[in-house]
Chain A
Amino acid sequence: MAERGVIELDNVSHSYGGGELLSNISLTLAPGAFHFLTGPSGAGKTTFLKICYAELVPTAGAVRLFGADVRGMDRDQIARTRRRIGVVHQDCRFLDHLPVIDNIALPLLTAGQDPDDERNNIDELLGWVGLRARADALPPELSGGERQRAALARAVIMAPDVILADEPTGNIDWEMSLRILQLLVELNRMGKTILIATHDLNLIRAAKAQVAARVLRIKDRQLNLAGADL
């Protein structure tokens, strides 16, 4: 019997503005897998990720998250499922009026947990991403790399099974990109499933030197496994 994936897409197609962006895409993300998603700008990488965490419902095909079909989920079920998927966006999407520590604790708060009870975990997490000294800063006061690390901390605070990252190193220097990658590799070694959308081939090569990463490419509305050239 085939292994059940944490995220499964069956013949998924998605149209936007009258044109088809993704066509008949099938994919199974196995637990603990490390994937890159690459492709030219506008190919549909962000749309693909949005489908993977149920922010978008595809116009055709089936999406199963942890075995449950998204089409059969109500809004509360989708919200609960999202707590098992940590998402890092390129623009990070913080609440700018809250300090970094509260932004990182936000998933706990929305899940009905008391952040004070998790103070040690939050502190440990801040140390892990190197932001302990910036805990009380407001997001607009952070550098690009600090924002990405804070977003990563927020994405993992609920100990999700899957981390989805959309261009997590898009606006930061190479050194900081490697730091972010290192954190994601560490998470993968802890058993988390990782899917990173990026057009940065150097980042992919750096990752492949450390983990058995598969590289998927979206091109001409199709998803394919990239060749050995990467």
Chain B
Amino acid sequence: MSGAADALRLLRGDPRAGSVVPPSGFTARLTVFTAAAMAFLAVFALALALSAGHLADRWGDALARTATVRLSAPAGQMDTQLAAVMEVLRTTPGVATARPMTEPEQRALLEPWFGPDLPVETLPLPRMVEVTETQTGFDADALRLRLAGEAPGAVLDDHTRWRRPLVRAADRLRGLGWLSIGLIGAAMGAMITLAANSALAANAQVIEVLRLVGARDAFIARAFVRRFTRRALEGAALGTAAGMVAVALMPGGDGTGFLTGLGFRGLDWLWPLALPPLAGLVAFWATRFAAFRVLKGIT
């Protein structure tokens, strides 16, 4: 009999078939607790994965569409070279906007390092030009060559150097989040297998009686599978609800920082709802595997 057919029979089958296994308090509580704890952790792993994903996308998008031209030139040539830079940028395909940063903006950039009282006007600071790309973007190498020809003091920084590791880190974090969910599922499966093995061993006499009256292994396994799947569903529902409440109560923010951005947004809140059915599936297969393995070993 296929697993899918078994699952359907499990859902619509006669609940009295499950009553042939006596209720056992310890394994019941253990399974419900395990499923609840694992689902609670899975909600956080899910929040981590989704938030890291959003962060990677946001950083990738934001940084990919901006670049900076830094112009260092003697005081007498600064305005001439700046005009040349602006002209080059204006005529470069893929450049949406180009704007020289104002003195207060440059002061604000330096303030974290030098404090608010630094007389920046007395320093030979380079001029910065903020460049925004179109969706198609520009050819950075070609632009560098043109800038070198028209304004020798201009250097193009398209942020590639520091954008890549950031996006890579966020992507890695997203992967770790999903890996954590997988590991949580595997751990839950292992613990439910142990609990099922314990229940099967404790009910050896029940199995013997069922065999004597002509029960097939599938019937006996189903009685255990039904019980453990239901417990896992109940536990996971509790754990998921608690996890969602905990995530909802996390301190918010503008969402741009990592910790303040940890959580679910919009339709993301639907993702945790998949955890209880997934826990049920894990419990179904883990118990089924354990039951048939044990039953095969009993002559």
Q: Which residues of A contact B (CB under 8 A)?
A: 53, 55, 57, 75-76, 79-80, 82-83, 87, 89, 93-98, 102, 106-107, 109-112, 114-115, 154, 158
Q: For the complex, what is the distance from the CA of A107 to the CA of B17, rounded to whole Å?
A: 11
Q: Are A87 and B212 in contact (CB under 8 A)?
A: yes
**Which of A75, A76, A110 has the most chain B CB within a 10 Å cutoff?**
A110
Q: A95-B20, A97-B22, A97-B23 are in contact. Are A110 and B217 (CB under 8 A)?
A: no
Residue numbers in B under 8 Å from A79 (CB-CB): 211, 214-217
Residues in A with CB closer than 8 Å to B209 are: 93-95, 106
Q: Are B213 and A107 touching (Cβ within 8 A)?
A: yes
Q: Determine the distance from Cα of A43 to Cα of B104 in the docked complex, in whole angstroms.
A: 106
Give Cα distance in the complex from A109 to B20, angstroms. Answer: 9
Question: Which of chain A's residues has its CB closest to B296's CB?
Answer: A75
Q: Can you pick out 8 interface pairs between chain A and chain B where the beta carbons lie within 8 Å of each other?
A: A79-B215, A79-B217, A102-B16, A107-B213, A109-B17, A109-B20, A110-B210, A115-B16
B217 and A76: CB pair below 8 A?
yes
Cβ distance B291 to chain A, nearest Cβ, rounded Å: 13
Contacts of A107 in B (CB 8 A): 213-214
Within 8 A of A (CB), among B232-286: none
Contact (Cβ within 8 A) B14 A110: no
Judged by a CB distance under 8 angstroms, whether B157 is at the interface is: no
A95 adjacent to B214 (CB under 8 Å) = no
A7 vs B64: C-alpha distance when bound (angstroms): 82
Structural contact, A106 and B216, CB atoms closer than 8 A: no
A57 contacts across to B, CB distance below 8 A? 299
Interface hub of A82, A154, A158 (most chain B Cβ within 10 A): A82
A55 and B214 within 8 A (CB) = no
Partner of B214 from the list A82, A97, A102, A114 (CB cut-off 8 Å) is: A82
Question: Contact: B214 with A80, CB < 8 Å?
Answer: yes
Chain A residue numbers with a CB within 8 Å of B23 are 97
Residues of A within 8 A of B211 (CB): 55, 79, 82
* Contact in complex: A106, B14 (CB < 8 Å): no
Compute how far the CA of A53 lies from the CA of B214 in the bound complex, rounded to whole angstroms.
10
Q: Which residues of B contact A76 (CB under 8 A)?
A: 216-218
Within B190-232, which residues are at the interface with A (CB < 8 Å)?
205-206, 208-219
User: Residues on B close to A: CB < 8 A?
Assistant: 14, 16-17, 19-20, 22-23, 205-206, 208-219, 299
Note all chain A residues with C-beta closer than 8 A to B210: 106, 110
A96 to B217, alpha carbons, bound, how many Å? Answer: 21
In the complex, A158 Cα to B213 Cα: how many Å?
Answer: 9
With the chains together, A100 CA to B286 CA distance in Å? 33
* Nearest CB of chain B from residue A147's CB, rounded to whole Å: 13
Please tell me if the beta carbons of B217 and A75 are within 8 angstroms of each other in the complex.
Answer: yes
Which B residues are in CB contact (< 8 Å) with A82? 211-214
Give 6 A-B pairs besides A79-B216, A95-B209, A110-B219 with Cβ atoms closer than 8 angstroms.
Answer: A57-B299, A79-B215, A87-B212, A106-B210, A109-B14, A154-B213
A95-B22 in contact given A109-B14, A114-B14, A115-B16 (Cβ < 8 Å): yes
Q: Which residues of A contact B214 (CB under 8 A)?
A: 79-80, 82-83, 107, 110-111, 158
A218 → chain B, closest Cβ, in Å? 22
CB <8 Å contact, B215 and A110: yes
Distance from A159 Cβ to chain B, minimum over Cβ atoms (Å): 13
The CA of A2 and the CA of B1, in the complex, are separated in Å by: 39
On chain A, the residues within 8 Å of B213 by CB distance are: 82-83, 106-107, 110, 154
What residues of B have a CB within 8 angstroms of the CB of A87 in the complex?
A: 212
Residue of B nearest to A106 (CB): B213
Closest to B208 in A: A93
Task: Find chain B residues with CB under 8 A from A102 CB.
Answer: 16, 19
For A110, list chain B residues within 8 Å (CB).
Answer: 20, 210, 213-216, 219
Q: Closest residue of chain B to A75, judged by CB?
A: B217
CA distance A75 to B216 in the complex (A): 7
Nearest B residue (CB) for A94: B209
Cα distance A112–B17 when bound, in Å?
A: 9
Nearest-CB residue, chain A, relative to B219 = A110
